[in-house]
Amino acid sequence: MRRESTLVGRTVSKTIKYIVCIFLAILSIMPFWIMMMNATRGTYEIQQNSISLLPSTYLISNFKVFEGKAFNPMVGFKNSLIIAGGATVLGIYFSCLTAYALVAYQWRLRQPFFTFIMAVLMIPAQVSGIGFYQFMYRIGWTNSYFPLILPAIAAPAMVFFMRQYLLGALSIDIVNSARIDGANEFYIFNRIVLPIMKPAMATQAIFAFVGSWNNLFMPMILLTDKAKYTMPIMVSLLRGDIYKTEFGAVYLGLTLTVLPLFVVYFALSKYIIAGVALGSMKE
Amino acid sequence: MGPKKLKSVSYAKYGYIFSIPFVLAFLIFTAYPIFYTAVIGFTDLKGLGKTDFKFLENPLQNFEAVWKNPSFQKSLENTAIIWICNFIPQILLALLLTAWFTNQRQKLRCQGAFKVLFYMPNIITAATIAILFNTLFGYPMGPVNDLFQMLGIADGPTEFLRDKWTAKGIISFIQFWMWYGQTMIVLIAGVLGINPALFEAAEIDGATSRQVFFHITLPSLRTIMLFTLVTSLIGGMQMFDIPKLFLNGGPDSATLTVSVFIYNQAFSGSYLYNRAAAASMILFVIIAILSGILFYLLRDKDAGKLKKQMRELKKPRRQQGGQRHET
C-alpha cells in the first residue's frame, strides 16, 4: 500500500517538474517565435491577430519599409562585427599575456598585482561614463571605433579566468626546455603558451564577443554618425514614430538583429553552457 | 648544474613587461575616466560640446543638487525595487531548478536542452528584448492583449504600459527572465563541486531528498550564492538598456533607473555633465558600500569559521604538549 502511494507520489512530482520545465522553455521561446512569425506578416494581419505560430508572405514587403530609413541592419551588422571582433581579439590576446605574466614569472609585485586585478574586477563600468565621454571628446575620438575596442585590453575578469586555466594547464618544464633551445620569452608565449590556451580562449571569446556586440551605453554616447551605428543603436531606432504603424517591419528589424546571435548560440550552446558553469568557479 | 644555472638567469622582468599593456589600458580607459568623472562632479561643466570647466566655489554643489533632486531619489528607489523584485524570484526559481536537476534519485531527462533554452534570453541583445517586450505589450493590439483575451483573463484590451506598477513589474520580469537560467547553471555547477562523499553519507543515513537539499546542498552553496548576489547587485544598480528602451523611464518616471537618470542629465536637455558626473559618483559610492557590506559578511563568516577550526585544532595539541612537559 505505502509503496504504491510513494510510487504514485513520485510519478506526480516528476510530472509536475516536467510541466514546469516545459512551461519555462516555452516562456523562453515564445516571445522570439512570435517576433519571427510576425516579421513575415503584414501590418493588417498583425492588427487582426497579433499571435501566429505560422509564417506568412510579407517578408519582402516588410523589408522594403527600411529603404531610405536610418535603420540599416547591414551597416549595423558590419560595424558591430568590426567592434566586437576587434575587442574580442585584443581582449583574448592581452588577457592571456597578463595571465602568463601572473603564472610563469616570479616577480616581486606579482601577488599585489593579482590582488589589484581581483579588486578592479568589481568596478561598475557605467560610473566612469561621463569622464570617458569627455576624455574621448577632447582627443577627438567620438565617432571612432578605438574607444570601443581598445579598453578590451584590460579585462580583469578574463585575466582571472585565463590565470585559473593556465595554473592547471601550463607545465613550466616545456617553457624551460624552450629556453634551453634558445627561444626568447615572446616567442615562447606566442608559439608555445597560446596554443595550450586554445580551449580557454574559445570559451572566453564567445562571451567577450557577445558582451561587446550587445553593449548599448558606450556606443550610444560616443557614436553620433549614423554610418557608424552598431546593432543595438540600430535597434533603438525602431522605437521611433516612423515605425508606429509598420508592425511587420518592426518585428523584422528585431529579428534581423537577433538572428546572428541565435546562429552563434545554437551552434555553440554546449560550450557556452559549460563556460557559464566554469565561470562560476571563481572561489 | 644545468637547472641551477637556468634559475640564476632572472626572468622576473618579463613579469613586468607582459603586464604593461593591461596596466596601461586600465589606467587610460578605466582609472583616468573615473578620476575625470569625479573631477567633473566638482565643476560647472555643462552644455553640448563643452570641455572647459571651472571649479565651483561650493565644491559639493552638484552633489547636493543631485542628492536633493526628486528625480534622482525616485530613480534610486525604482532601481532598488526593480532589482529586488527580479532577484528574489530569480534566486528562488534557480534554487528550485537546481534541486530538481541535481536530484540523484529522480533524474530528469532533456536537462541539456532545458539548460540551453533557460539560458538563451541572456545572450540576446538587451536593447532588442526591451523593444520586443514593448511591442508584445502593445495597446490596443498586441500579442499579450490578444493572449489574455483568448484565455479569457481579460474582457477587453488593457493598457499595460500606462500603469506604473505594471511597467516596473514587466521590467523586473524581463530581468528575471534573462538571468534565472544563468544563476541556475552557476548553482548546478556549485552542487557538482560539492564533495560526493557528503551525499553518499547522507544516503547511507537514510536522509530524504528534502533533507539532503536543506542540510547539505544549500549550506555548501552559500559562498556561490553570495557571489551571485554581489554580481547581480552591481549589474542591477547599473541597469540601463532595458529601462531606457522599454519606456524611456516612463510612465511618469516609474521605470527611471539611476543609469537612465545619469544618461538623461548628460546627453539630453541642457547637457549637465557636472550633475551627471556627481550622480555617477554617488552611485559608485552606493555600490561600493553595498558590495563592501556583502563581502564583509561573506569573508567574516568563512574566516571566522576557519579561525575557530584552527583554534580547536591547536587546543588539544597544546594540551598534549603541556602534558608531555609535565611527564
Taking residues B80-103, report their average pLDDT. 95
Grid cell of B263 as nine digits: 544618461
Structural domain that includes position B131: 72-318
The answer to whether residue B303 scores a pLDDT higher than 80 is: no
* B35 domain residue, yes or no: no
The answer to whether residue B325 scores a pLDDT higher than 70 is: no
Same domain, A82 and A210: yes
* A120 domain residue, yes or no: yes
Interface probe, candidates B22, B36, B191, chain A, greatest A C-beta count within 10 A = B22
Q: In the beta sheet, which residues pair with residue B43?
A: B55
| Per-residue pLDDT, B60 | 93
* B60 domain residue, yes or no: no
Q: Is B293 on the interface with A (CB under 8 A)?
A: no
**Structural domains of chain A, count:** 2
Q: Which of residues 223-282 of B touch A (CB under 8 A)?
A: 223-224, 227, 230, 234, 237-238, 240-241, 244-245, 259, 262-263, 266-267, 273, 276-277, 280-281
The whole-model pTM stands at 0.89
* B32 domain residue, yes or no: no
Domain boundary among A198, A220, A237: A237
The answer to whether residue B188 scores a pLDDT higher than 90 is: yes
| Per-residue pLDDT, B186 | 93
Instruction: Label residue B320 by pLDDT band (50, 70, 90).
Output: very low
Taking residues B210-224, report their average pLDDT. 88
Chain CA centroid to CA B211, Å: 30
Q: Where are the alpha helices (DSSP H) in chain B?
A: 2-8, 12-26, 32-40, 61-68, 70-101, 111-123, 126-136, 143-150, 164-192, 196-204, 209-212, 218-220, 222-237, 241-246, 258-267, 273-326
Least confident residue range of A220-229, B84-93, B220-229, B280-289: B220-229
The answer to whether residue B4 scores a pLDDT higher than 70 is: no
| Per-residue pLDDT, B324 | 40
DSSP state, B43?
B
**pLDDT tens for each residue of A166-191:** 998 898 899 999 999 999 999 999 99
Average pLDDT, chain B: 88
Average pLDDT, chain A: 90
CB contact under 8 Å between A101 and B15, yes or no, is yes
CB contact under 8 Å between B280 and A130, yes or no, is yes
Q: Which of B187, B223, B276 sits opposite A283 (nearest CB)?
A: B223
Same domain, A47 and A113: no
* A250 domain residue, yes or no: no
**pLDDT tens for each residue of B126-166:** 999 999 999 999 888 889 998 998 888 888 888 999 999 99
CATH number for the domain that contains residue B306: 1.10.3720.10
* A246 domain residue, yes or no: no
Grid cell of A150 as nine digits: 581598445
Taking residues B242-268, report their average pLDDT. 93
Least confident residue range of A25-29, A60-64, A217-221: A60-64
Least confident residue range of A212-216, B137-141, B284-288: B137-141
**pLDDT tens for each residue of B25-79:** 999 999 999 999 999 999 999 988 888 888 999 999 999 999 999 999 999 999 9
* B103 domain residue, yes or no: yes
CB contact under 8 Å between B25 and A277, yes or no, is no
* A134 domain residue, yes or no: yes
| Per-residue pLDDT, B69 | 96
CATH number for the domain that contains residue A221: 1.10.3720.10
Rounded to whole angstroms, the Cα distance separating A125 from A133 reads 13
Same domain, A107 and A176: yes
Taking residues B181-195, report their average pLDDT. 92
* B19 domain residue, yes or no: no
CA–CA distance from A185 to each of A22, A93, A179 (Å)?
53, 15, 8
Same domain, A147 and A223: yes
* B45 domain residue, yes or no: no
Taking residues A57-63, report their average pLDDT. 87
Instruction: Label residue B323 by pLDDT band (50, 70, 90).
Output: very low
| Per-residue pLDDT, B14 | 93
* B43 domain residue, yes or no: no
Grid look-up 547591414 returns: A74
* A128 domain residue, yes or no: yes
Same domain, A35 and A109: no
Same domain, A85 and A185: yes
Share of chain B above pLDDT 90, in %: 57
Same domain, A186 and A206: yes
Q: Is B291 on the interface with A (CB under 8 A)?
A: yes
* A219 domain residue, yes or no: yes
CB contact under 8 Å between A278 and B189, yes or no, is yes
Same domain, A116 and A16: no
CB atoms within 10 A of CB A97: 24
Predicted-complex ipTM score? 0.91
Rounded to whole angstroms, the Cα distance separating B67 from B75 reads 11
Same domain, A124 and A79: yes
**pLDDT tens for each residue of A230-278:** 999 999 998 876 677 788 889 999 999 899 899 999 999 988 998 888 8
Same domain, A117 and A191: yes
Structural domain that includes position A118: 75-237
Same domain, A151 and A220: yes
**Structural domains of chain B, count:** 1
- Give the residue, A60 or A152, on which the prediction is more confident: A152
Exposure class string for B6-40: b at 16+ Cβ within 10 A, else e = eeeeebeebbbbbbebbbebbeebbbebbebbbbb
